[in-house]
A and B are shown apart, each in its own frame.
Chain A
Amino acid sequence: MTTNIKNISIVKQKSSRDDLTMRVCMILIGLFLAIAILLPLYTMLSKSLENKEGAFIGISNYVEYFSTPSLFLSAYNSILLSAIGTIILLLVTFIYAYALTRTQMPFKWFFKIIAIIPLLTPSMLGGISLVYWFGNQGVAKGLLMGESIYGPIGIVMGSVYWVFPHALMIIITALSITDARLYEAAVALRTSKIKTFFMVTIPSCKFGLISAGFVVFILIFTDFGVPKVIGGMYNMLATDIYKQVIGQQNFQMGAVVAVVLLIPAIIAFSVDRFVQRKQVALLSASAVPYEPKKSKGLDLTMLMFCSFIAFLIICMIGMAQYAALIKFWPYNLSFTLDNFNFDLIEGGGWGSYFNSIRLSIYTALIGSIIIFFGAYLVEKGRGFSFGRNAFHAVAMIPLAVPGMALGLAYIFFFNNPNNPLNFLYGTMGILVISTITHFYTVSHLTATTALKQMDPEFESVSASLKTPFFRSFQKITAPICMPAILDISVYLFLNAMTTVSAVVFLYSTNTRLASIAVLNMDDQGELAMAAAMAMMIAYTCGGVRILHAIGTHNILGKTQRWRSK
């Protein structure tokens, strides 16, 4: 207290021109995010509190919703099936991931590739295959012992199929970060294998398991494709929104259902973020990676298990492929390419396929630039921590928002004639914006992780060398993070290609998409054609995945020579 009286004023650092430019850029991207996510969500929330004439009526819509048993029942159904699906998936993926990371099972590469397949197809594809396998004229209908595939059984099976790779990736990551020394210590202390499993293995990946559980739950809970195709009369929340909005034009009730869908998703998301934060310090820098040892019995058991799972995945995609190539199931099984004549029916057409390609390219290009640049500004900016934290927080929101809710929110927001952005409605532009927004969070986190791995002193050195930020971004940051940027663009491309949930509300006759065409064809009973279109999407995504692998390899070879010693 006695010292320092002369210098009592707090020093504030002046901002350099770069600091200001970075802030302006970040605010611009932040505004984009606000317009693309916050305002539409707000509009939807207020719509859910209005009557059809647009007057504020408080929570009456919610009261009506919860007192209508048929509507309320679908919330129950959604939670029940998501929970069942989550439990099955956690068990199956844990064993599969364990086999891949902790055993010397042969043909691991094969099982890794097979596990990716469901990522390459729209979620409806599983549903379509299930119809061919277990539908009224299904090959293996008998296996269901009289139960119908159209309903909860089909929804669970279809969901488990398409969510499998998502869960697998999380659990593989969790099982990969472990310290071999812990296992050596356990052996040295003569701990039994089983005890080691529960004392070392499970605790080290429990956060990953919890995280996977929540992610899986949200994915099944909010998915629209599977219940739409195979759900029959069984109501789920996601299909309810569609019925309310498209079927009955009851936008207010649609908004209510969307909010009801949103809340559990946000809760699950928040818990997941909380849990992930706890995981951070599990692994010390001195940890040694685990090298699994050969064990005949275990390796063979795992090989059998993984083969069985791989067999099921191949059955799913294989049946869709088969269905796309035959004349008329089950009466004429001769091969044909007629099913690829998409222009024959309404609501589909090759145009929709090419629209999807355009959407995916735009989303991948524009999205990865905006998202990576935004993450860079947040991660490497100086000062203005309020703005940077706010940006980061807003960038987290899209992951918690189900596509159906996002799409509906977009209708409310952009279709309002008073909105100056109204001109976007019904264009490719709104599809691109909604898709970038829908998949913003995961891409943002990928970018942030890559940026965090860079030496934080690069920025300090650049400042001391008077390097303007756009120069160090272009010459240093972007090249170093190129693999992550490519990952982001492929992630965006694949999702743009396969998504239905948000865009199903937003496409117009000029901007029909392949995935929407699959839905429409299925609606019209053109199941073979739907399978063919779904397979077109799968071929494209598979091709892009391969191109990405080759491209990454080349770019790494060319621009990342420095990585090698």
Chain B
Amino acid sequence: MHHENAQPYLQIRNLTKKFGEFIALKDISIDIIENEFVCFLGPSGCGKTTLLRVIAGLDIQTYGSIIQAGKDISSLPPSERDFGIVFQSYALFPNLTITRNVAVGLENVGMPAPKVQHRVDELLELVGLVDQKDKYPAQLSGGQQQRVALARAMAISPGLLLLDEPLSALDAKVRSRLRHEIKELQHKFAVTTIMVTHDQEEALTMADRIVVMDNGIIEQVGKPEEIYRSPKTKFVADFVGTMNFLSGTIVSNGTAKVGDVVLTCDTEDLPVGSSVMVAIRPEEINARNITNSDSNIVQIEVLHIEFLGSFCRVKLGGGDLKDVSLRADFSISLTRLLSIKVGLKLKVSLPSKFICIYLTD
């Protein structure tokens, strides 16, 4: 990127956080680049919120350091750090109007009143709530409150924006609209942003990079496509998206055996004989126009069909796979084309480039 930003904006080094005996974060290190939108993704209790709170100074790490814009902030109290924050509850001050909520931070840094008014209007304009400015938080909808919280956090133009599950309290429709809006605002504000979420769809759609966490460690860091296409660990493969896991054995460099079938795939130098999990996403299983040039053709039977609106999730098993079964997502048109029904025997291909292999624990 820009060469003056050779230094990452936020450098997190060897962070460990203990709550008594419990280790919430284990030796975490990441770099975050200026203006980047990073999501911490993981199941509840994985340490993502703790990491966010440590970055804000709301909790203090047991070991490790944090450098923000070249300044060591490891031991600073939150009031001396440079960040804006939006919580799941929004934490809007209920007794102050929208205008006053947004103005609080500006008043605290000693901005003169006319300038405060100007800046507040500007921010409310940006989030599209100018006409609501004299109302109290309780009079706004969840989505509106969320945007007020964002405007308030951005008022003093912090270098870092922290979002703690900002969309979880909203219903599905509003949520998907706001994903887009937040991303757009982040772009306008041009602010380095960290968002904590347990919702993979949110992370995949919004983030420049995703940090997948589990049990206090980082499982994988990468662009959304990377995370989805080539999950590095079985945990990531399982947590992000849907994945078939078939137990098998490595039979040679480049092949693994599942049931009676030998599948070609990248076996990553695993020794022959290792027991492994062969993983493939349901939507990558192909049933259209299978020819001999397709890799890993398997003779299989339809066991069960689940109608999911825009597509069908089909449970396949038997045939070459014996008692192993897997799920495949077939579009409605394909289902119609092949007249998929329970008991139908068909050929599918498991393309080797979409197969991932993980050692069985």
Q: Do A and B come from one complex?
A: yes
List the interface of chain A (C-beta within 8 A of B). Answer: 3-4, 6-16, 18-19, 382, 455, 457-458, 460-468, 471, 475-476, 479-480, 559-565
Is B75 a contact of A464 with CB atoms below 8 Å? Answer: no
Is B156 a contact of A3 with CB atoms below 8 Å? Answer: no
> How far is A561 from B136 in the complex, measured between Cα atoms in Å?
8
Contacts A7-B65, A466-B105, A471-B108: A480 and B95 contacting too (C-beta < 8 A)? yes
A295 to chain B, nearest CB (A): 37
Query: Does B30 sit within 8 A of A, measured CB to CB?
Result: no
> How far is A560 from B95 in the complex, measured between Cα atoms in Å?
7
> How far is A336 from B58 in the complex, measured between Cα atoms in Å?
68
Report B57-91 CB contacts with A as 1/0, cut-off 8 Å.
Answer: 11011111100000000111111110111010101
> How far is A139 from B170 in the complex, measured between Cα atoms in Å?
68
20 contacting pairs across A/B (C-beta < 8 A): A4-B14, A7-B14, A9-B63, A11-B63, A11-B65, A11-B75, A14-B80, A16-B77, A16-B79, A19-B77, A457-B87, A457-B89, A461-B85, A461-B87, A461-B152, A475-B93, A476-B95, A476-B96, A480-B95, A559-B95
Q: Please name all residues of chain B whose beta carbon is closer than 8 Å to the beta carbon of A6 when the two chains form the complex.
A: 14
Having A13-B57, A562-B137, one finds 14 other A-B pairs with CB under 8 Å, namely A11-B60, A11-B63, A11-B74, A13-B77, A16-B79, A16-B80, A455-B87, A461-B85, A463-B77, A464-B79, A464-B105, A476-B96, A559-B95, A561-B136
Q: Which of B29-78 contact A (CB under 8 A)?
A: 56-58, 60-65, 74-78
> How far is A464 from B55 in the complex, measured between Cα atoms in Å?
12
Is A565 a contact of B138 with CB atoms below 8 Å? Answer: yes
Query: Does B153 sit within 8 A of A, measured CB to CB?
Result: yes
Is A12 a contact of B75 with CB atoms below 8 Å? Answer: yes
Q: Please name all residues of chain B whose beta carbon is closer than 8 Å to the beta carbon of A480 when the two chains form the complex.
A: 94-95
Q: Please name all residues of chain A whose beta carbon is closer than 8 Å to the beta carbon of B94 when the two chains form the complex.
A: 480, 562-563
A338 to chain B, nearest CB (A): 52
Residue among A12, A464, A466 with most chain B CB within 10 A: A464
Contacts A16-B80, A455-B89: A465 and B14 contacting too (C-beta < 8 A)? no
Query: Does B16 sit within 8 A of A, measured CB to CB?
Result: yes
Q: Which of the four size classes fits the interface of chain B?
A: 35 or more
Q: Please name all residues of chain B whose beta carbon is closer than 8 Å to the beta carbon of A465 when the two chains form the complex.
A: 84, 104-105, 108, 152, 155-156
Query: Does B139 sit within 8 A of A, measured CB to CB?
Result: yes
> How far is A561 from B96 in the complex, measured between Cα atoms in Å?
10
> How far is A4 from B137 in the complex, measured between Cα atoms in Å?
46
Report B125-142 CB contacts with A as 1/0, cut-off 8 Å.
Answer: 000000000001111000
Is B156 a contact of A466 with CB atoms below 8 Å? Answer: yes
> How far is A475 from B138 in the complex, measured between Cα atoms in Å?
17
Q: Please name all residues of chain A whose beta carbon is closer than 8 Å to the beta carbon of B60 when the two chains form the complex.
A: 11-13
**Chain B residue nearest to A18 in the complex (CB):** B79
A472 to chain B, nearest CB (A): 8
Is A455 a contact of B91 with CB atoms below 8 Å? Answer: yes
A389 to chain B, nearest CB (A): 15
> How far is A562 from B158 in the complex, measured between Cα atoms in Å?
28
> How far is A480 from B79 in the complex, measured between Cα atoms in Å?
22
Residue among B77, B80, B136 with most chain A CB within 10 A: B77
Query: Does B199 sit within 8 A of A, measured CB to CB?
Result: no
Q: Please name all residues of chain B whose beta carbon is closer than 8 Å to the beta carbon of A464 when the two chains form the complex.
A: 56, 78-79, 81, 83-85, 105, 153, 158
B334 to chain A, nearest CB (A): 42
Q: Please name all residues of chain B whose beta carbon is closer than 8 Å to the beta carbon of A16 when the two chains form the complex.
A: 77-80
Contacts A10-B62, A460-B85, A461-B91: A15 and B77 contacting too (C-beta < 8 A)? yes
Q: Which of B306-360 contact A (CB under 8 A)?
A: none
> How far is A9 from B14 in the complex, measured between Cα atoms in Å?
12
Report B284-325 CB contacts with A as 1/0, cut-off 8 Å.
Answer: 000000000000000000000000000000000000000000
Residue among A3, A463, A559 with most chain B CB within 10 A: A463
Is A475 a contact of B62 with CB atoms below 8 Å? Answer: no
Contacts A4-B14, A457-B87, A465-B108: A13 and B75 contacting too (C-beta < 8 A)? yes
Is B108 a contact of A466 with CB atoms below 8 Å? Answer: yes
**Chain B residue nearest to A14 in the complex (CB):** B75
**Chain B residue nearest to A464 in the complex (CB):** B85
List the interface of chain B (C-beta within 8 A of A). Answer: 13-14, 16, 27, 56-58, 60-65, 74-81, 83-85, 87, 89, 91, 93-96, 104-105, 108-109, 136-139, 152-153, 155-156, 158
> How far is A145 from B209 in the complex, measured between Cα atoms in Å?
89
Q: Please name all residues of chain B whose beta carbon is closer than 8 Å to the beta carbon of A564 when the two chains form the complex.
A: 138
Is B79 a contact of A463 with CB atoms below 8 Å? Answer: yes
Q: State which of B56, B78, B95 has its C-beta within 8 Å of the C-beta of A479.
A: B95
Q: Please name all residues of chain A whose beta carbon is closer than 8 Å to the beta carbon of B79 when the two chains form the complex.
A: 16, 18, 463-464, 466
> How far is A462 from B62 in the complex, measured between Cα atoms in Å?
24
Q: Please name all residues of chain B whose beta carbon is closer than 8 Å to the beta carbon of A559 when the two chains form the complex.
A: 95
Contacts A464-B78, A562-B136, A562-B138: A3 and B27 contacting too (C-beta < 8 A)? yes
**Chain A residue nearest to B84 in the complex (CB):** A464
A4 to chain B, nearest CB (A): 5
> How far is A462 from B96 in the complex, measured between Cα atoms in Å?
13
A453 to chain B, nearest CB (A): 12
> How far is A525 from B155 in the complex, measured between Cα atoms in Å?
72
> How far is A559 from B62 in the complex, measured between Cα atoms in Å?
43
Is A565 a contact of B63 with CB atoms below 8 Å? Answer: no
Is B136 a contact of A457 with CB atoms below 8 Å? Answer: no
Contacts A466-B105, A467-B105: A4 and B77 contacting too (C-beta < 8 A)? no
A185 to chain B, nearest CB (A): 28
Q: Please name all residues of chain B whose beta carbon is closer than 8 Å to the beta carbon of A460 when the two chains form the complex.
A: 56, 58, 78, 85, 87, 91
Q: Please name all residues of chain B whose beta carbon is closer than 8 Å to the beta carbon of A560 when the two chains form the complex.
A: 95
Q: Please name all residues of chain B whose beta carbon is closer than 8 Å to the beta carbon of A565 when the two chains form the complex.
A: 138-139
Q: Please name all residues of chain B whose beta carbon is closer than 8 Å to the beta carbon of A3 when the two chains form the complex.
A: 14, 27
Q: State which of A7, A9, A14, A562 has its C-beta within 8 Å of the C-beta of B13.
A: A7
**Chain B residue nearest to A461 in the complex (CB):** B91
**Chain A residue nearest to B93 in the complex (CB):** A476
> How far is A471 from B104 in the complex, measured between Cα atoms in Å?
10
> How far is A519 from B191 in the complex, measured between Cα atoms in Å?
72
> How far is A5 from B163 in the complex, measured between Cα atoms in Å?
32
A246 to chain B, nearest CB (A): 51
> How far is A144 from B101 in the complex, measured between Cα atoms in Å?
67
B10 to chain A, nearest CB (A): 16
**Chain A residue nearest to B109 in the complex (CB):** A466
B167 to chain A, nearest CB (A): 16
B238 to chain A, nearest CB (A): 26
Q: Please name all residues of chain B whose beta carbon is closer than 8 Å to the beta carbon of A11 when the two chains form the complex.
A: 60-65, 74-75
Q: Please name all residues of chain B whose beta carbon is closer than 8 Å to the beta carbon of A14 when the two chains form the complex.
A: 75-77, 80
> How far is A7 from B155 in the complex, measured between Cα atoms in Å?
36
B319 to chain A, nearest CB (A): 47
A560 to chain B, nearest CB (A): 7
> How far is A463 from B79 in the complex, measured between Cα atoms in Å?
5
Q: Please name all residues of chain A whose beta carbon is closer than 8 Å to the beta carbon of B78 when the two chains form the complex.
A: 16, 460, 463-464
Q: Please name all residues of chain B whose beta carbon is closer than 8 Å to the beta carbon of A4 when the two chains form the complex.
A: 14, 16, 27, 63-64
Q: Please name all residues of chain B whose beta carbon is closer than 8 Å to the beta carbon of A382 when the two chains form the complex.
A: 77
> How far is A479 from B152 in the complex, measured between Cα atoms in Å?
20
**Chain A residue nearest to B110 in the complex (CB):** A466
A543 to chain B, nearest CB (A): 29
Q: Please name all residues of chain B whose beta carbon is closer than 8 Å to the beta carbon of A471 when the two chains form the complex.
A: 108
Q: Please name all residues of chain A whose beta carbon is closer than 8 Å to the beta carbon of B87 when the two chains form the complex.
A: 455, 457, 460-461
> How far is A7 from B60 in the complex, measured between Cα atoms in Å?
15
> How far is A16 from B139 in the complex, measured between Cα atoms in Å?
35
> How far is A564 from B197 in the complex, measured between Cα atoms in Å?
31
> How far is A392 from B138 in the complex, measured between Cα atoms in Å?
33
Q: Please name all residues of chain B whose beta carbon is closer than 8 Å to the beta carbon of A19 when the two chains form the complex.
A: 77
Q: Please name all residues of chain B whose beta carbon is closer than 8 Å to the beta carbon of A462 when the two chains form the complex.
A: 104
Residue among B79, B91, B152, B153 with most chain A CB within 10 A: B79
> How far is A471 from B100 in the complex, measured between Cα atoms in Å?
14
Contacts A465-B152, A562-B95: A8 and B63 contacting too (C-beta < 8 A)? yes
